[in-house]
Protein backbone atom coordinates (compact mmCIF):
# COMPACT_ATOMS: atom_id res chain seq x y z
CA UNK A 1 0.00 0.00 0.00
CA UNK A 2 2.80 2.38 0.77
CA UNK A 3 4.21 1.94 -2.77
CA UNK A 4 0.85 2.78 -4.38
CA UNK A 5 0.61 6.01 -2.37
CA UNK A 6 4.14 6.99 -3.39
CA UNK A 7 3.38 6.38 -7.08
CA UNK A 8 0.25 8.51 -6.85
CA UNK A 9 2.23 11.33 -5.25
CA UNK A 10 4.81 11.22 -8.06
CA UNK A 11 2.07 11.28 -10.72
CA UNK A 12 0.43 14.30 -9.07
CA UNK A 13 3.68 16.22 -8.69
CA UNK A 14 3.78 19.31 -10.86
CA UNK A 15 6.40 21.92 -11.63
CA UNK A 16 5.95 25.61 -12.39
CA UNK A 17 7.74 28.16 -14.49
CA UNK A 18 6.83 31.78 -13.78
CA UNK A 19 7.56 35.05 -15.57
CA UNK A 20 6.63 38.55 -14.52
CA UNK A 21 7.47 41.34 -16.97
CA UNK A 22 6.54 44.90 -17.68
CA UNK A 23 6.43 45.28 -21.44
CA UNK A 24 6.34 48.30 -23.70
CA UNK A 25 2.81 48.25 -25.08
CA UNK A 26 -0.60 48.82 -23.56
CA UNK A 27 -2.64 45.93 -22.16
CA UNK A 28 -5.10 45.97 -25.08
CA UNK A 29 -2.26 45.46 -27.57
CA UNK A 30 -0.78 42.62 -25.48
CA UNK A 31 -4.21 40.99 -25.21
CA UNK A 32 -4.64 41.14 -29.00
CA UNK A 33 -1.15 39.68 -29.50
CA UNK A 34 -1.72 36.59 -27.34
CA UNK A 35 -4.88 35.90 -29.35
CA UNK A 36 -2.90 36.03 -32.60
CA UNK A 37 -1.44 32.72 -33.85
CA UNK A 38 0.92 34.75 -36.02
CA UNK A 39 2.26 36.77 -33.06
CA UNK A 40 2.64 33.58 -30.99
CA UNK A 41 4.54 31.88 -33.84
CA UNK A 42 6.82 34.93 -34.10
CA UNK A 43 7.61 34.67 -30.38
CA UNK A 44 9.22 31.30 -30.93
CA UNK A 45 10.73 31.92 -34.35
CA UNK A 46 13.23 31.30 -35.75
CA UNK A 47 14.09 28.57 -33.22
CA UNK A 48 10.70 26.86 -33.14
CA UNK A 49 8.11 26.68 -35.92
CA UNK A 50 4.42 26.08 -35.30
CA UNK A 51 2.56 24.66 -38.30
CA UNK A 52 -1.16 23.82 -38.37
CA UNK A 53 -2.23 20.20 -38.78
CA UNK A 54 -5.65 21.32 -40.05
CA UNK A 55 -5.54 21.78 -43.86
CA UNK A 56 -7.48 25.04 -43.42
CA UNK A 57 -4.55 26.48 -41.48
CA UNK A 58 -4.51 28.38 -38.22
CA UNK A 59 -7.45 30.61 -37.35
CA UNK A 60 -6.87 34.37 -37.59
CA UNK A 61 -7.32 34.58 -33.80
CA UNK A 62 -7.47 32.10 -30.95
CA UNK A 63 -10.96 32.07 -29.43
CA UNK A 64 -12.26 30.38 -26.28
CA UNK A 65 -13.13 26.75 -26.96
CA UNK A 66 -10.61 26.34 -29.79
CA UNK A 67 -8.85 22.99 -30.02
CA UNK A 68 -6.06 23.50 -32.53
CA UNK A 69 -3.53 20.73 -33.29
CA UNK A 70 -0.11 21.98 -34.43
CA UNK A 71 3.21 20.47 -35.43
CA UNK A 72 6.28 21.93 -33.72
CA UNK A 73 9.69 21.85 -35.41
CA UNK A 74 13.04 23.14 -34.23
CA UNK A 75 15.05 25.28 -36.65
CA UNK A 76 12.59 24.44 -39.44
CA UNK A 77 13.81 20.87 -39.79
CA UNK A 78 13.79 18.82 -36.59
CA UNK A 79 10.29 17.56 -35.69
CA UNK A 80 9.59 18.28 -32.00
CA UNK A 81 6.14 16.73 -31.86
CA UNK A 82 2.52 17.67 -32.04
CA UNK A 83 0.67 19.81 -29.54
CA UNK A 84 -3.03 20.38 -29.00
CA UNK A 85 -3.73 24.01 -28.11
CA UNK A 86 -6.95 24.38 -26.12
CA UNK A 87 -7.96 28.00 -25.53
CA UNK A 88 -9.96 29.50 -22.70
CA UNK A 89 -9.95 32.86 -20.99
CA UNK A 90 -11.23 34.50 -17.85
CA UNK A 91 -11.28 37.90 -16.22
CA UNK A 92 -10.44 38.76 -12.63
CA UNK A 93 -11.09 42.09 -10.94
CA UNK A 94 -8.21 42.96 -8.61
CA UNK A 95 -7.74 46.12 -6.52
CA UNK A 96 -5.36 47.50 -9.18
CA UNK A 97 -7.85 46.80 -12.00
CA UNK A 98 -9.05 44.07 -14.32
CA UNK A 99 -6.73 41.21 -15.21
CA UNK A 100 -7.36 39.26 -18.41
CA UNK A 101 -6.13 35.67 -18.40
CA UNK A 102 -5.51 33.63 -21.54
CA UNK A 103 -5.09 29.90 -20.96
CA UNK A 104 -3.78 27.08 -23.12
CA UNK A 105 -4.65 23.85 -21.34
CA UNK A 106 -3.99 21.62 -24.32
CA UNK A 107 -1.49 18.78 -24.14
CA UNK A 108 1.56 17.56 -26.05
CA UNK A 109 0.41 14.75 -28.34
CA UNK A 110 3.77 13.41 -29.54
CA UNK A 111 7.47 14.14 -29.27
CA UNK A 112 9.63 14.78 -26.19
CA UNK A 113 6.90 16.64 -24.28
CA UNK A 114 4.27 13.91 -24.77
CA UNK A 115 5.41 12.26 -21.53
CA UNK A 116 3.79 15.17 -19.66
CA UNK A 117 0.33 14.56 -18.20
CA UNK A 118 -0.26 18.24 -17.43
CA UNK A 119 0.30 21.31 -19.62
CA UNK A 120 -1.35 24.43 -18.24
CA UNK A 121 -0.06 27.69 -19.67
CA UNK A 122 -1.69 30.89 -18.45
CA UNK A 123 -0.83 34.46 -19.41
CA UNK A 124 -2.26 37.27 -17.28
CA UNK A 125 -2.43 40.72 -18.86
CA UNK A 126 -3.06 43.98 -16.96
CA UNK A 127 -2.03 47.62 -17.21
CA UNK A 128 1.34 48.14 -15.52
CA UNK A 129 1.01 49.73 -12.08
CA UNK A 130 1.61 53.45 -12.40
CA UNK A 131 1.89 53.39 -16.21
CA UNK A 132 -1.18 52.31 -18.19
CA UNK A 133 0.76 52.73 -21.43
CA UNK A 134 2.69 49.57 -20.46
CA UNK A 135 1.57 46.03 -19.61
CA UNK A 136 2.20 43.82 -16.62
CA UNK A 137 2.58 40.37 -18.21
CA UNK A 138 2.51 37.37 -15.90
CA UNK A 139 3.15 34.00 -17.45
CA UNK A 140 2.74 30.66 -15.68
CA UNK A 141 3.42 27.23 -17.10
CA UNK A 142 2.52 24.21 -14.97
CA UNK A 143 3.75 20.83 -16.16
CA UNK A 144 3.26 17.43 -14.61
CA UNK A 145 4.00 13.82 -15.33
CA UNK A 146 6.78 11.31 -14.99
CA UNK A 147 9.33 13.46 -16.85
CA UNK A 148 8.32 16.90 -15.54
CA UNK A 149 11.40 17.22 -13.32
CA UNK A 150 13.71 16.28 -16.20
CA UNK A 151 11.98 18.61 -18.68
CA UNK A 152 11.70 21.57 -16.27
CA UNK A 153 15.27 22.92 -16.86
CA UNK A 154 14.79 22.82 -20.64
CA UNK A 155 11.40 24.53 -20.49
CA UNK A 156 12.69 27.07 -17.94
CA UNK A 157 15.45 28.01 -20.39
CA UNK A 158 12.94 28.29 -23.25
CA UNK A 159 10.72 30.51 -21.04
CA UNK A 160 13.64 32.85 -20.26
CA UNK A 161 14.33 33.17 -23.97
CA UNK A 162 10.60 33.66 -24.55
CA UNK A 163 10.62 36.54 -22.04
CA UNK A 164 13.37 38.21 -24.07
CA UNK A 165 11.31 37.79 -27.24
CA UNK A 166 8.15 39.16 -25.56
CA UNK A 167 10.06 42.26 -24.43
CA UNK A 168 11.56 42.75 -27.89
CA UNK A 169 8.31 42.26 -29.80
CA UNK A 170 5.90 44.10 -27.49
CA UNK A 171 6.51 47.56 -29.01
CA UNK A 172 5.47 46.17 -32.41
CA UNK A 173 2.17 44.97 -30.98
CA UNK A 174 1.16 48.53 -30.17
CA UNK A 175 0.87 49.40 -33.83
CA UNK A 176 -2.72 49.55 -34.97
CA UNK A 177 -2.91 50.19 -38.71
CA UNK A 178 -5.12 53.03 -39.80
CA UNK A 179 -8.34 51.97 -41.55
CA UNK A 180 -7.91 51.71 -45.29
CA UNK A 181 -8.61 55.01 -47.02
CA UNK A 182 -11.30 55.12 -49.68
CA UNK A 183 -9.91 53.85 -52.93
CA UNK A 184 -9.03 56.36 -55.63
CA UNK A 185 -10.75 54.10 -58.16
CA UNK A 186 -14.17 54.65 -56.56
CA UNK A 187 -14.98 57.65 -58.57
Tens digits of per-residue pLDDT, 167-186?
999 999 976 554 444 444 44
- Res 5 pLDDT > 50: no
105 and 90 in contact (C-beta within 8 Å)? no
Backbone angles phi, psi at 100, to 5 degrees: -105, 130
Gap between the Cα atoms of 111 and 159, Å rounded: 19
Domains and CATH numbers, the chain: 9-173 (3.30.530.20)
- For 12, residues 6+ apart whose C-beta sits below 8 A from its C-beta are 144
Cis amide leading into 55 (omega within 30): no
Gap between the Cα atoms of 122 and 140, Å rounded: 5
> Other CB atoms closer than 10 Å to residue 75's CB: what's the count?
10
Instruction: Express each pLDDT in 111-147 by its tens digit.
Output: 989 999 999 999 999 999 999 999 999 999 999 999 9
86 and 115 in contact (C-beta within 8 Å)? no
Amino acid sequence: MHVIAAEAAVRDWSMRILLKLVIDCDADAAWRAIHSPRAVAELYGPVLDMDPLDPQGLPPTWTPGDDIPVQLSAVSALPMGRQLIHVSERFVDEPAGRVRIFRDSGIPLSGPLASLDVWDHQMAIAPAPGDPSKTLWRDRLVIGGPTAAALWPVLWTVWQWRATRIRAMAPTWAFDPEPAAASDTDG
